[in-house]
Amino acid sequence: MPGVPEIFFSAILSVNPNQNYILLDEINSPHGHELLLIHKKFNILTKIDGIELQFSGNLINATEKNGIAIYKIEFPESVLYLQKRQSFRINIGLGTSIPIKLKREDGIPVYGRIINLSETGAGIMLDTPCSIQISDIFPHCELRISEELTIKCQLEVCYISTDKTNDPQRVGGQFIGLDGSQQRELRKLVLKLQRDLMKRLPKNTA
């Protein structure tokens, strides 16, 4: 908060861009709660999928549910997105399936599907959990982007989901060893996916 040296912790409960507000959970200390009610302004640093976001918040009101404070703040006019990827990634729609096959050093195959894609890397949903670590390299990565075209390279692991539920394991990686023609094919595919996405957006979308 402005002029306050302490750092306080909370959690984003929900995001409602249509009605221009965000709900935050109660701050982790009574002192921070009182300061927020006084200042009504603060800066937020948060992280999702390993990517940091920063934005400023203005308090609309504070309510209470089951004895726990909930803060309603204005939807930020801008968000600083600390992108660590080299290229924009497009999310893969439900109507598109891009299978991927990986092999570890021991030769054991790992199968999955692409959930987001750029010309330099991909987010992958694995069919079965795999014991891997950040910076591990799959020496064999086979990406089937069409019936006629399969791209083969290596994949360096840059992100691993830490969800402990039964949800499928997600991995983010960077392609290694792509040649010029493979990069062009990936670029064409990403552009096509972007065009397909734009066609599905409502006509009155700003």
DSSP secondary-structure letter at 26?
Answer: P
Residue 1, pLDDT above cutoff 90? no
Residue 155, pLDDT above cutoff 70? yes
Give the helix, strand, coil percentages of the chain, each rounded to 5: 15, 45, 40
Question: What is the three-class DSSP state of 194?
Answer: helix
pLDDT at 126: 92
What is the rounded distance in angstroms from the CA atom of residue 21 to the CA atom of residue 62?
A: 13
The pTM of this model reads 0.55
Q: Please report the domains of the chain, with CATH numbers, ordered by start residue.
A: 12-82 (2.30.110.10), 90-200 (2.40.10.220)
pLDDT tens-digit map of 126-153: 998 888 888 899 999 999 888 888 999 9
pLDDT tens-digit map of 79-92: 776 655 555 667 77
Phi-psi region of 106 (alpha: psi -120 to 50; beta: other; left: phi over 0): alpha
Confidence of residue 204 (pLDDT cuts 50, 70, 90): very low
pLDDT tens-digit map of 27-78: 988 989 999 999 999 899 887 755 678 888 899 999 998 889 999 999 888 7
pLDDT tens-digit map of 112-129: 999 888 888 999 999 988
